[in-house]
């Protein structure tokens, strides 16, 4: 019998390699062991340090894996009780517990185990199991719980040098925009993206055998956001990840375009430096001019995305596209904008605003709720009046009917159309200039009248470039021309770097 270390196995066994001879994945313990297990007559001895062996298994658990983990993990007691029996009462099922843990940890193995152990300590201390999902989530959402649970994982990222921190920003963007990557995607000729995810203690969700999605559990996000070393851009990216619905960006061809516009808007609203777009909106809208800008604190813009359930898909014509359910709208309107409940009817032919935020006047009690509808280049003929009216009816009419009609005159609403390609009819009427349609004005051959206390702003293509430049748009068009769900390789490092730099230029 011969003893060898894992650093020697590549010379003795035929492990998977890249073209330049690097064992892949050379730093994934389970990945190497799984290949070695195919060899006959092999005996493993695993030796750990006094602090324990750090096994880098960064593939997250799915829902069913967590259920199985909870049911088969036994406490070291004389009766060998399953973990789920200790944590769950008769009114709180193991499925609900698994769902809560998935929401909190993202299914990350090490983080999941740590969270379960902390829940067990909590239950033992009070001698009573959880009676509901809400009670369990309240416990896991407690800041002290998250700090203790995630601190060892977060510390690694906070100690990165400046160069690696820029890679962390790219990974945050990939997580937010749901940009998958493949196992052999490179950052440089000597650096793999796969290894960067591992090095930073982040996790990968397997899409298929060779394709992964960067995963940043929300339990990490809370701690990151409160650290003083986090940059303004990282705060916005992390904050957006914290409020985003899990599946919102899948199946959407405009997802990266919408996300870039949203983040640039946040930076524009919070920047203390002069910027042309903010001044343009002040010129177009008397109400906008009265709002307090720049905003005093940087916070994520809350996306109002079209969401599909996990069992649904959308075809190219978007006919199967769904909007937020009324309960989701109600929650965001109430908690984010502090307005009364607004019901947005489900209609497969019309879309909710992609972005929504609120501004307030510094001297008068005036509030402006702003919705932004992002329209990409996916229609060859450009965005016409019917599309614009569709967006206005979907947002301005319900907000007016259900809020503004019975509110004080201090409440106002604005819809901004951000389109990368307008139809010839729209461009001609606008005179290739951005325009604001105020209350009582008609648009589209008098097919729509702007409600009282509302405004509709249409940005011309030239002014849209203040939010997203033409080179980035061309890059997005190329990437989504290759695939409906393009990977890191399809976007390219240069394009993602350019997007990141466009954010940094407005900090």
Position 17 pLDDT exceeds 50: yes
| Residue 457 in this model has a pLDDT that exceeds 90 | yes
- Do residues 416 and 388 touch, judged by C-beta distance below 8 A? no
Q: Using CA of residue 111, residue 109, residue 202, residue 476, what is the dihedral sign?
A: negative
Contact 326, 334 (CB under 8 A): no
Q: What percent of the chain has pLDDT over 70?
A: 73
Question: Using 50, 70 and 90 to split pLDDT, how confident is the model at 447?
Answer: confident
Mean pLDDT of 163-170: 89
Q: Looking at residue 152, what is its pLDDT?
A: 75
Which two three-digit tokens encode residue 299? Answer: 């916070």
In the predicted model, is pLDDT for residue 379 greater than 80? no
**What's the CA gap between 428 and 83, in Å, rounded?**
67
Cα gap 67→84, rounded to integer Å: 9
Which residue ranges make up each domain of the chain? 2-11+23-141, 251-294+326-467
Alpha-carbon span 195 to 312, nearest angstrom:
33
CB 507 within 8 A of CB 233: yes
Least confident of 90-94, 260-264, 379-383: 379-383
Is the separation of the CB atoms in 396 and 454 below 8 Å? yes
Report yes or no: 264 and 374 within 8 Å, Cβ to Cβ.
Answer: no
pLDDT at 130: 94
SS3 content of the chain, % helix, strand, coil (to 5): 45, 15, 45
Residues near 20 by Cβ (< 8 Å), separated by ≥ 6?
none
Nearest to 264 by CA among 498, 468, 474, 417: 468
| Joined tokens for residue 144 | 């002290």
Task: Mean pLDDT check: name the lowest of 33-47, 103-117, 309-323.
Answer: 309-323
pLDDT computed for residue 26 by the predictor: 42
- How much is the pLDDT for 283? 94
Span 103-121, average pLDDT: 83
Please write the tens of the pLDDT for every residue from 302-355.
Answer: 554 433 323 333 333 333 333 444 455 555 545 444 433 343 443 433 456 777
The label of the residue with tokens 């003083």 reads 228
Report in angstroms the alpha-carbon separations of 6 from 35, 48, 130, 464: 12, 13, 43, 54
Between the alpha carbon of residue 151 and those of residues 16, 145, 240, 434, the distances in Å are 34, 10, 21, 48
pLDDT confidence tier of residue 35, bands split at 50, 70 and 90: low
CB 183 within 8 A of CB 207: no
Distance from C-alpha of 261 to C-alpha of 272, rounded to nearest angstrom: 19
- pLDDT value of position 496: 95
Query: What average pLDDT score do residues 223-243 get?
Result: 79
Question: What confidence tens digit (pLDDT) does each residue in 394-417 have?
Answer: 888 888 887 788 777 788 999 999
Averaged over 462-490, what is the pLDDT? 90
Report how far apart the first and last C-alpha atoms of the chain are (Å, whole number).
61
Residues in a beta bridge with 456: 415, 437
pLDDT of residue 378: 63
Beta 181-182 vs 302-303: how paired, if at all?
Answer: unpaired
């Amino acid at each position: 019998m011969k003893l060898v270390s894992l650093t020697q196995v590549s010379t003795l066994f035929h492990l998977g390699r890249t073209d330049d001879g690097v064992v892949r994945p050379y730093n994934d313990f389970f990945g190497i062991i799984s290949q070695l297990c195919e060899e006959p007559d092999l005996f493993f001895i695993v030796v750990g340090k006094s602090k324990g062996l750090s096994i880098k298994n960064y593939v997250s658990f799915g829902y069913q894996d967590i259920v199985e983990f909870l049911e088969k993990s036994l406490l070291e007691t004389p009766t060998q009780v399953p973990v789920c029996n200790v944590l769950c009462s008769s009114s709180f099922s193991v499925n609900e517990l698994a769902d809560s843990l998935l929401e909190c940890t993202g299914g990350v193995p090490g983080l999941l185990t740590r969270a379960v152990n902390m829940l067990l300590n909590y239950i033992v201390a009070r001698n009573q199991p959880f009676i509901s999902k809400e009670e369990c989530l309240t416990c896991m959402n407690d800041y002290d719980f998250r700090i203790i649970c995630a601190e060892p994982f977060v510390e690694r990222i906070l100690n990165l040098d400046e160069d690696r921190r820029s890679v962390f920003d790219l990974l945050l963007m990939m997580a937010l925009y749901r940009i998958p990557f493949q196992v052999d995607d490179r950052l440089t000729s000597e650096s793999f993206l796969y290894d960067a995810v591992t090095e930073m203690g982040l996790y990968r969700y397997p899409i298929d055998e060779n394709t992964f999605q960067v995963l940043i559990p929300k339990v990490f996000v809370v701690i990151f956001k409160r650290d003083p070393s986090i940059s303004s851009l990282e705060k916005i990216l992390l904050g957006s990840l914290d409020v985003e619905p899990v599946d919102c960006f899948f199946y959407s061809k405009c997802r990266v375009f919408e996300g870039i516009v949203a983040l640039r808007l946040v930076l524009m609203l919070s920047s203390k430096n002069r910027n042309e777009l903010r001044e343009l909106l002040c010129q177009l809208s008397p109400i906008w001019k009265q709002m307090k800008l720049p905003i005093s604190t940087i916070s994520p813009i809350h996306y109002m995305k079209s969401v599909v359930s996990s069992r649904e898909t959308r075809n190219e014509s978007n006919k199967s596209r769904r909007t937020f359910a009324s309960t989701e709208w109600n929650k965001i309107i109430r908690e984010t904008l502090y307005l009364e409940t607004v019901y947005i009817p489900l209609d497969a032919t019309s879309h909710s605003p992609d972005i929504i935020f609120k501004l307030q006047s510094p001297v008068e009690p005036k509030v402006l709720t702003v919705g932004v509808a992002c329209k990409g280049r996916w229609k060859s003929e450009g965005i016409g009046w019917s599309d614009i009216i569709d967006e206005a009816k979907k947002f301005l009419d319900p907000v007016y009917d259900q809020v503004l009609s019975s509110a004080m005159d201090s409440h106002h609403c604005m819809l901004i159309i951000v389109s990368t390609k307008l139809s010839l009819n729209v461009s001609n009427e606008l005179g290739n200039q951005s325009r604001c349609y105020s209350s009582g004005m008609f648009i589209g051959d008098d097919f729509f009248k702007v409600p009282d206390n509302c405004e509709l702003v249409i940005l011309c293509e030239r002014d849209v470039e203040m939010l997203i430049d033409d080179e980035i748009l061309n890059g997005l068009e190329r990437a989504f021309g290759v695939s409906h769900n393009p990977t890191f390789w399809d976007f390219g490092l240069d394009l993602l770097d350019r997007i990141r730099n466009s954010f940094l230029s407005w900090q």
